[in-house]
Structure 1
Amino acid sequence: MTISVGISACVLGQNVRFDGGHKQNRFVVDELSRYFNFKPVCPEVGIGMTIPRRAIRLLQLPSGDERLVDSKENEIDFTVQMKEFADQQIAHFDDLRGYVVCAKSPTCGMERVKLHIDNGNTVPGGSVGVYTRELMAKMPWLPVEEDGRLQDPVLRENFVFRVFSLNDFYQSLGEARSYDAFVKFHSRYKLVLMAHCPTAYKEMGRMVASIKDWDVDSFYYEYRQQFMDAIKNRASRKNKTNVLMHLQGYFKRSLTKDQKQELAALIMSYREGNQPILAPLALINHYLKEYPDPYLQLQTFLNPYPEELKLRYGL
């Protein structure tokens, strides 16, 4: 319960929606709340709206500007109030490691929020909720995900992993911003970067190699953004297979011929989609206990978050 994560209050189960209801997410409440300290915010209640209340919507003006207005009376405009509220809240979000927002909400939605125009139609592709747009613009490194998208096992795993990784970043580098600390952190995440974004793996490797050419604080902010951008990419099965084969190489002098064949077969089975990644990883972790390797034992890729979350079962 030490990892602070922001959340739309309705997603946590609070009855703050316009109709007096909620949108409680069971995964959030039953699973993530065991590891995350959720900090609920309802932006609409935050700017003084009542419960229940009239619905609001996003309206695109002829100029292209987007406004947050009453669903029946466009003249009742909450845009300025909502942006000011968002800025006030974000000023106190330094301790957050992620944020779960309510899908489709004109204040909190992260994508494809209905964007209306005066003739009654909607703009294809929609938009972003006013509050969440401000949040993502001012904290672009912060993992943000919608409650509905957490039903997708790949998106769910990626979001939770990013939250744990950002927390690790702050614990490792928040105060001890030494060159040595950066090198150690980056070393632990090399295989993660290889799996999520091979291009970033190479570019950030060069960046860390030239770390002494940087001011340490400038490096901190640049590295944080590049790191979080890289791991936002979903690790493909192909990339993860390459990482597994890379791991396999560390045991080539320790394993028997049959053991090597068994591990190779598991990796290929995973690559073809017949096994979850847990199958080859379990064998690799077994061999790592039998044949310890200091570098591999520190690799976050092998144990990125508590296994009780069961996030890799379908990956």
Structure 2
Amino acid sequence: MYKIKVGISACLLGQAVRFDGGHKRSSFCERELGAHFDYHAVCPEMAIGLGAPRAAIRLIRRHGELRAETRDGSLDVTERLIAFSEQQAGRLDFLSGYILCAKSPSCGMERVRIYTANDKAPGGEGGAKEGIGLFAQALMAANPLLPVEEDGRLCDPVLRENFVLRVFAYHDWQQLCASGLSAARLIAFHSRYKYLVLSHATGHYRALGRLLADLGQGSLEETAQRYIQGLMTALTLRANRRGHTNVLMHLQGYFKRVLTPSQKRELTETIDKYRLGIVPLLVPLTLLRHYLCEFPNPYLAQQVYLNPHPETLRLRYGL
């Protein structure tokens, strides 16, 4: 079975690489996502030669400069950690996503605690949650389109579904580019993603349509780069109930000539129940997929919106 290559903080796979000699194994990452992802595990702190267990590293702001040091100041790994992070981040373009360990001074993607050093507390005091881990910062700077998420945020069903959706979409794009980009293939790719984009951001949906309408006006490579930037930005915006309802109603229109009056009424009522929060997204989607099997439509059948990720992950149950 082919698996998508995704980077991950090594501790999340149960590797004993944390400062205390332990790990932060995530069963969701290891078991459920692991059935579909081929992980590339990295621990930046171990990679620069630190052992486990070891003295904890913290981010300390000293004289306006951010340093990665131990609390007592006996070890400063700032330059080593930055050098490794920048070098490693530039070699990860084969990945389709990355899962980072939250709160880590090397891997945290947001709200990492930053301490402030002063004469009374040379090892730092306070600790505002406003930083980004040094490796995470280099990773996102070098790979701005790469879907990145933290393990803790994956506990939120909306953020979890959004991240996995983006990983599969970005992998799909990488496969397109690897097979040879052409104007026809780019348009075909967008045709499959139209309703998925519409569910996330109406403005981006329109902008991408205008971009491809002028496809012959400039370089294909430049247009493709602008397209994927727009697509990944749109998918980063979380789809809400209103956006999904809008798409469901669009999809409903494809069946207006083939459904019986009672079937039309059932579909309309089911979509409205979703809009009101009575049933989850999976309910109207299941009904639409049923009618698609009964009344085949090649254009609808190719829509990524209907199956953006494996059903076995059960990611749309709570949406």
Give the stretch that moved more between structures: 208-217 or 75-84. 75-84
**Aligned counterpart, 2:121:** none
**One-letter amino acid of the structure 1 residue matched with residue 71 of structure 2:** S
How far apart, in 2, do the equivalents of 1:19 and 1:131 lie?
20
**Aligned counterpart, 2:72:** 72
Pick aligned residue for 2:147 from 138, 143, 146: 143
Matches within 5 A, 1:134-213: 134-213=138-217
**Aligned counterpart, 1:118:** 117
Q: How many residues align?
A: 313
Q: Would you say 1:51 and 2:52 are equivalent positions?
A: yes
SS of the residue 1:199 aligns to: helix
SS of the residue 1:17 aligns to: coil
**Aligned counterpart, 1:29:** 30
**Aligned counterpart, 1:103:** 102
Q: Would you say 1:314 and 2:314 are equivalent positions?
A: no
Contact 1:100 1:147 in 2 (8 A): yes
Q: CA deviation at 1:114?
A: 0.4
> Over the residues paired in the alignment, what is the CA RMSD in angstroms?
1.2
**One-letter amino acid of the structure 2 residue matched with residue 18 of structure 1:** F
**Aligned counterpart, 1:6:** 7
Q: Would you say 1:93 and 2:95 are equivalent positions?
A: no
SS of the residue 2:130 aligns to: coil
SS of the residue 1:97 aligns to: coil
**One-letter amino acid of the structure 1 residue matched with residue 131 of structure 2:** S
Contact 1:173 1:181 in 2 (8 A): no
How far apart, in 1, do the equivalents of 2:86 and 2:39 lie?
19
How far apart, in 1, do the equivalents of 2:128 and 2:243 lie?
33
State the Cα deviation string for residues 51-97 of structure 1 (Å, max 9, x = none): 1110010112232x322111221x63212211110122123212100
Q: Would you say 1:297 and 2:301 are equivalent positions?
A: yes
SS of the residue 2:126 aligns to: coil
**One-letter amino acid of the structure 2 residue matched with residue 71 of structure 1:** R
Q: Would you say 1:282 and 2:286 are equivalent positions?
A: yes
How far apart, in 1, do the equivalents of 2:42 and 2:55 lie?
19
State the Cα deviation string for residues 192-246 of structure 1 (Å, max 9, x = none): 1100111100001101111122212222222222211110111011000000001
List 4+ stretches of structure 1 deviating above 3 A: 119-125
Percent identical residues: 49
TM-score normalised to structure 1 length: 0.96
How far apart, in 1, do the equivalents of 2:54 and 2:172 lie?
41
**Aligned counterpart, 2:242:** 238
How far apart, in 2, do the equivalents of 1:184 and 1:191 lie?
13
**Aligned counterpart, 2:136:** 132
**One-letter amino acid of the structure 2 residue matched with residue 228 of structure 1:** M
How far apart, in 2, do the equivalents of 1:227 and 1:264 lie?
29
TM-score normalised to structure 2 length: 0.95
